[in-house]
Each structure stands twice: as structure tokens, then as C-alpha cells.
Amino acid sequence: MFDKILIANRGEIACRVIKTARRMGIKTVAVYSDADRDALHVEMADEAVHIGPAAAAQSYLVIEKIIEACRQTGAQAVHPGYGFLSEREAFPKALAEAGIVFIGPNPGAIAAMGDKIESKKAAAAAKVSTVPGFLGVIEGPEQAVKIADEIGYPVMIKASAGGGGKGMRIAYSADEVAEGFARAKSEAASSFGDDRVFVEKFITDPRHIEIQVLGDKHGNVIYLGERECSIQRRNQKVIEEAPSPLLDEATRRLMGEQAVALAKAVGYDSAGTVEFVAGQDKSFYFLEMNTRLQVEHPVTEMITGIDLVEEMIRVAAGEKLRLSQGDVKLNGWSVESRIYAEDPVRNFLPSTGRLVTYRPPEEGVENGVTVRNDTGVYEGGEISIYYDPMIAKLVTHAPTREQAIEAQAKALDAFAIDGIRHNIPFLSSLMQHPRWQSGKLSTGFIAEEYPQGFKVPAPEGEVARAIVAVGAAIDHLLNVRKREISGQMRPVSAVRFDRERVVMLGREPHEVLVEDVDGGIAIVMKGEAWPVVSSWRPGEAVWTGTVGGRSIAVQVRPILNGMMLSHAGTSAEVRVYTKREAELAALMPEKQEADTGKKLLCPMPGLVKAISVNQGQEVKAGEPLCIVEAMKMENVLRAERDGTISKIHAKEGDSLAVDAVIMEFA
């Protein structure tokens, strides 16, 4: 076994590998760029080596710098994590030449499977069912349009290298193919250093199901069940679960055996994932193979009890697999939410900045339910513009799918992040969605269920009553503290004036009465008493306790003369008044938002890649105005209506803040 390994990555996956290595008694070496000097993975590792500027192309993607770091520290092996160099065939070759072990598959398997075009050819040769498409490299947009016309719309334009939704576009017409080809090619070049793209038929209403395989260097390969990854937006997974609610045991075995056969055909010898696109009728087609550890590997670990990082390290050290296929048992259900630095109400555009608050829910096992949080950040740390916007992966495991979803919903409610925009409100809302809860999924789920984008809903029904009760309880606690200030002349017991309150949920009033009961207080609404018990103290970001006997978590953020309370995917401004204050507040005019309809605002912090129009130019609705790049994704900003460009404030190469004015319209 190795004495010391280097992790050629950053963020949560670097921290994840360090945890397992530490448990195995292996020393670790971190590498870091200028932007990651104070990163968590640098703090956690036994040693750390600086490898260059912030841009990945000058640091994390430079093979020579990784090898030099190994030489400096005496690291015997390298774990690549995911992304960056993890699927670059040249990396394990260069490591082998330097006498360093690659904790991953052999270069031949990476070459055969890591390239999407070559992997489809290999799958076809192995008689694996594949999606109809053109398996060659496409030279230009004209050829792409011709191929798409022959296959039939819609089509998927995909980068041959890499993954993570980068360099992927769905096109429903010839015009969309031409533009999608240019964008996919450009994104692929900037993300992977490889601009090759191909075209294949896009299966409508599909599900994304993948099989985890594990092989060793002695010819043994097993599969560890499946993961359902159908909840995606912009071709990037958002929520994953294991097992899949679609599959039965026979289909699982068929997919697993096919994945193993394909892995054996290319001599696969590490952890890897065979991805399939599945129909609602349980039909499936080979999509691609990821020759690395997947982002969503924790859900497989939770249902199998197998540490995939440990198995990768043991296999790389030459050990035989410790398990046979018969030893693999699936236990319970696991759900993972990817928590991203992005603004869900602005079409999920990236957000950057400092984590002023970062308070994840408590990890551990309680009443048969496990909560796990894989992260690479800390409170006070910074979310950089240079890398993937993932903050954390929140994972829950329970005996049933319903219990795992319920645990995930509660854990999301207890996850407090401030300082940047994030997608927790969307994830919380999704956990309450009836279609998600029923397991009727497809990769079009988000587009179909949120066609107008996501807006944080106002609380209704029981959720609204719970928020009213928590708001009243918080106000009561603050009032009690005020009454305890010394020197005040007050009656011995509280007067009714202290107990009658009007809780405003936005503009909606709720009259309540606060009563003392054994163990705490009760909030009386419309004659019904809701006992409230909590140890919450002012200033804490999350209120936890019971309302009406039900355990809940509510996020609390102070606002002017009140608080913003978020629970179960909803959010509301809550202000608690006396009856007279409520009467006067109802007379106050509502503040009108400023009209920004004649300005194009930058929707996220980013870099201006191109300005497509000139001052004085007339534009039609839908025409591209400029391209802004953020978090390695290119975003085309279009005209919302017909108009004339009166002034352009930005130029190519400008780095803009969110809501910066790019141009104005006459």
C-alpha cells in the first residue's frame, strides 16, 4: 500500500479523497492555484504544493506541474478526482513514465471509453445498444446541419471530450444546430482543450440511468447497482438517487451485465460509470462511459456500504477486488442534492463571492437516517469565478425512498448559506414536488415543471401555519428578552397586549394569541393551538424545534422590521405587529421597483466574450446581443423585444459584476 498520495484536484472531491486516505493511514499532498491558496483541501492535506495561476489551464491542467509536485513531496500515486485531468489519456501515461501510479483506469481503457465518439464505436462493436447518430468528427456547422436533417430532430450536439454538461446543446431546428455547434465547440475548447463535437438523436422523455462498475488489474469486474440522474438542467445533474425508482431487478441485472461486459472488453481496471439513456418502458441505450469517479458516487456508497475511493486506491496498489458480484447487496435508498453557487430565480446563472454564512446540517446517523455533507468550502471562504460553482453535495440515506426524501428536505431546510446566491430554495421546493416524490422522472423534468423558470413560492396551508407559528414564537422570545431589561416598571404577569399579535406573511395578516403551556408556548390561530418548542437563540441562522409536535427547521434572516423565513421550499417576509401597528402598516404604500426594461443587465458576474451589436443598430426580439462567460459556461444574452441600441457600456474582455449595465435601448 502507498505511504503518500497526491490529489490532482481541488474542492469537495479533493477533501473527499483526503478523508479516505487519512482513514487508511496514507499521507496526502494537495496542489493549489493562486485562487485556492486558502482553500479547505489545502488545509486538510498533510502537505500542499503551489502549481500556478488561478486559470485551470495554467495550473490544475498542467501535467508537468503535477509530476513535479510528486517529485518534490515523494508522492507514490496520484488520485485525479473528477474533471481536470481525470479522463486525459496522456496523464496516466506521463505518470507511468515518471514512475508514479495513477489511481484510476489504464490509459488504454481511457482512450477506448473516455472519448465519446470512440466509446460509441467500441460499444457498437461489443453489440451494445446505442443511440442513432453520426460517430465521426464533424468539421463545420454545414455538415452538422446536414447530419441533423438526416437523423431527424431533435438532436444532441456533444463535445467528444469531458462531461459535466459542458459543450452540450439540444437543437430542434437547422438554425439551432448551427448556433449550438459553434457554442458547443467553443465551450469544449475552453473546458477540455479539445473542440471535437458529434451529433446524435435526442431521445424524447428519456431518463438518465448509470451503472457503477469496479474492476481490478486481475480481470475482475463487478457492478454496484444503478443511480438515477434524470433531474438535470442544462444537461448537468442536480439531484441523484440510488437505486432508480424505474428499474426492476431483471432490468437492473441486464444493464449491470451489459456494463460489465463493456468494461471487460476494454480491460477496465478501476471505478467507472457506464451511462445509459432509458425510456419510460425500461428500454435503454448506451450513452457513454465515464472513466473516473463520478460526482454522485456517495449515493452508491450509501446503499452498498462500499467506499469507492478506498477500492480505487487498493486496486491501483495491485490488490484484487475484495468483493464478488454475489457480495453486492443494495440496502435502503439514498438521495443527493448538488448545492451550487447559482441564482435559481435568474435562470440558475452562476454567483460568486464570499460565504458570509456557511452552516450545513449536522452529519451522522439518527433513527436509521444518515445525513452526509461532502464539501470543499468553509464559512468566510470565497466562491471563485474560475472553477465549477459546486458548494457541497448533501446526501441522505434511509430505509425507503420516501424517508430519504423527507430527510433530504429537512436537511436542506437546515442548510444556511449567505453572501452568495445558491440553489437551496429550488432544491427544497423540488423535494416537495408531487411528481418528484412519485418517481415519475425524465431529463426534461425541470423544463416541464418550471417552464417559466423558478420563483420561490409563498407558503400555503400547513407550511404557512408553521411559518406563522415560528414567526410569532421568535417575536415572543425577543419581547420576553426586552421585558427582562432591568429598571422597567411592568406588571408582574404579562398583559393581553403582550400576547395578541398580527403576523404578516407578506401582505397577508394572521391574528394569533401566544399562550404559555407546559414546556414552552402555544400559538393559537383560528381557535387551534400549535405548541412550539425550540432552543433557538437570536442570531442563529436556522430555527429548529417542533411545531404542533412535528420536527422542522426554518431558515431565519433579519430584514427591516422583521425576518425572512424559509421552509419546505417556500419563503416569506414575516413582520409581527400589535393590532394597532398592523392597522397602520396596512396603510403604508408599497415600494415600486425601478424600471430596468430599457437596459440589458449582466445576469451574473462574468467575462464579456463578445458584443454582437453596434450602437444605433436595430434589433429584433430573440437576436443575440452579447456572450458572457462564467464558471466555464458561455451564456448568450438576447433581445427581449424589438428595439434600437442607444448606448453600449461594455466591451469584449470586460469583467462585469451582477446587474452591471451592458447596453441601453432607445
CA–CA gap between residue 294 and residue 273 (Å, rounded): 7
C-alpha cell at 432: 416537495
- Count CB atoms within 10 A of the CB of residue 362: 11
What does the chain come to in residues?
666
CA distance 132 to 602: 39
Per-residue CA distances from 530 to 319, 548, 578 (Å): 59, 5, 20
β-bridge mates for residue 285, sequence order = 277
Burial category of 63 from C-beta neighbours within 10 Å (exposed 0-12, middle 13-18, buried 19 and up): middle
The CA distance from 334 to 328, in Å, is: 16
Could you list the active site residues? Answer: 288
Give SS3 for 245. Answer: coil
Q: Tell me how far apart the terminal alpha carbons of the chain are, to the nearest angstrom.
A: 69
Measured at the CA of 633, the angle between CA 628 and CA 639, to 5 degrees, comes to 40
Q: Where are the alpha helices (H) located in 337-494, listed in sequence order?
A: 401-413, 424-431, 434-438, 445-449, 461-483
- The alpha helices in 133-248, defined as continuous H runs, are 141-151, 174-192
Backbone phi, psi, residue 177, to 5°: -65, -45
Sheet containing 207-215: order of strands:
284-290, 271-278, 207-215, 221-233, 236-242, 333-340, 390-398, 369-375, 364-366
Residue type, position 529, single letter: A
Q: Comparing C-alpha atoms, which of 335, 423, 17, 320 is closest to residue 415?
A: 423
> Do 67 and 98 meet the contact criterion of CB atoms below 8 Å apart?
yes
317/103 Cα distance (integer angstroms): 8
Q: 500 by DSSP, 3-state: which? A: strand
Q: Kindly report the number of other CB atoms within 10 A of residue 504's CB atom.
A: 22
| φ, ψ for residue 102, nearest 5 deg | -95, 120
Q: Which of 149, 101, 114, 89 is nearest to 4 (CA)?
A: 101
CB atoms within 10 A of CB 373: 18
Cis peptide before 132 (omega within 30 of 0): no
Q: What is the number of H-type helices and E-type strands within the chain? A: 18, 40
Closest C-alpha among 226, 308, 224, 222 to residue 268: 222
Residue closest to 473 by CA, chosen among 556, 395, 400, 401: 556
CA separation for the pair 503, 493 (Å, rounded): 23
Cβ–Cβ under 8 Å, residues 308 and 290: no
Task: Give the distance from CA 545 to its chain's centroid.
Answer: 28
Q: How far apart are CA 409 and CA 371, in angstroms?
A: 11
- CA atoms within 13 Å, Cβ hemisphere of 380: 2
Q: How far apart are CA 33 and CA 384, in angstroms?
A: 11
In whole angstroms, give the CA distance from residue 648 to residue 663. Answer: 4
Phi, then psi, of 640 in degrees rounded to 5: -80, -25
